[in-house]
Amino acid sequence: MAHQLSQFSSILRENESLAPFTWLQIGGPTRFLVEPNTVDEASEVLSVCHQQSIPVRLLGGGSNVLVREAGFAGATMLLSGPGFSHISQSGTLLTCGAGAKLSHVVGHAVGLGLGGLEHLIAIPGTVGGAVRGNSGSDEGDISQSIHSAKILSKDGQIRTVTRNEMAFTHRASGLDGVALIEVTFSLMESDPEVLTKRQQTFWILKRRAQPSFPERAALAFVDPVGHKAAELIHQAGMLGTVEGAVRMSTSYPNYLIASSGATSGQVLTLLDRVKQGVHDRSGVQLQQYLQIW
Ligand SMILES: Cc1cc2nc3c(=O)[nH]c(=O)nc-3n(C[C@H](O)[C@H](O)[C@H](O)COP(=O)(O)OP(=O)(O)OC[C@H]3O[C@@H](n4cnc5c(N)ncnc54)[C@H](O)[C@@H]3O)c2cc1C
């Protein structure tokens, strides 16, 4: 199979550890790591992988992924090149590559006097990862500002989908199994000074409420309808729970922190223990937000 992908040798690495590409810095290698430079290249890679039955996963900033020690026996695609981080404006529409950092896009929109994304300023990762997980804050989800997206299907076919064709729910997009290539946001014309102040406020509040780099952290659970996962964890007495070299943060509820020697097994056991503790205390079943590879 490797020789079929060998035509992409300039953008392909084999048996590359995924740990350095994730916030938790845990996990084994991917069989292939591909970094296409253009949409056409990404499409060709997907097409070859499809023909050869090689599974493909997209990786953005790695802030919501836990890779198991066994790694991933397929191709991991990173949209890290300049071909996937462009940002352009047309009236109140802002179009950006799925590999663009979400914080850059928010800052850019604010500078242009386009409002609607400021509340997302301190969420780590890329636009692609945020749209795939319908990331958001207490102010709302990213899906509320989406106009349309360009996606590549598993076999490399490109198409544009409108917001109504996507199946957004809380922290989910229904976009599983496709590669987001480009996203267009529909924003509101606003005063850049007012937007800048809003952005700064969100930045300060959020940074106080979340661990920051170089902490090896992950947001553990989705807020269940009518509840806050952080409060449920606190009420269940699970803050500070330790499993090997991984612990539930006491300073930042609903975040887990990995330290030297942490394994994916320890993270999974900790998540199960917290789920069980919360269920025993409140009867609520937590769903993890972290994507397990
Ligand atoms: C400190 C910290 C704070 C956080 N705060 C928040 C918060 O306030 N709100 C919130 O919702 N989340 C939060 N998160 C979780 C995480 O940052 C978000 O889910 C983020 O949007 C993930 O983006 P990413 O690029 O890192 O995605 P990744 O972790 O790389 O990937 C996440 C998922 O998206 C898929 N994916 C990535 N790129 C693409 C693409 N181009 N096409 C298709 N699929 C793709 C991956 O396959 C994977 O399934 C936080 C995480 C941390 C560590």
- Domain residue limits, the chain: 10-82, 85-208, 211-292
Q: Which fold has domain 85-208?
A: 3.30.465
Percent of the chain with pLDDT over 70: 99
Residue 271 token pair: 């998540």
Q: Could you tell me which residues are beta bridge partners of residue 58?
A: 77
Q: Is the CB of 63 under 6 A from ligand 1?
A: yes
Mean pLDDT of the chain: 96
Question: How far is residue 182 from each of residues 4, 79, 149, 252, measured CA to CA in Å?
Answer: 27, 11, 6, 32
**What's the length of the chain?**
293
pLDDT of residue 216: 97
Report whether CATH 3.20.20.70 matches the domain 211-292: no
pLDDT of residue 5: 86
Give the pLDDT band (50/70/90) at residue 91. Answer: very high
Report whether CATH 3.30.43.10 matches the domain 10-82: yes
Q: Could you read off the pLDDT of 146-157 as tens digits, one per residue?
A: 999 999 999 999
Atom in ligand 1 nearest the alpha carbon of residue 133 = 19
pLDDT, average across residues 39-46:
96
Q: Is the CB of 124 under 6 A from ligand 1?
A: yes
Which of 24, 25, 123, when mutated, tests ligand 1's pocket best, judged by the most ligand atoms within 8 Å of its CB?
A: 123
Q: How many CB atoms lie within 10 A of CB 93?
A: 14
Alpha-carbon span 24 to 218, nearest angstrom: 7
Atom in ligand 1 nearest the alpha carbon of residue 291 = 49
pLDDT over 60 (residue 3): no
pLDDT of residue 1: 44
Q: Is the CB of 97 under 6 A from ligand 1?
A: no
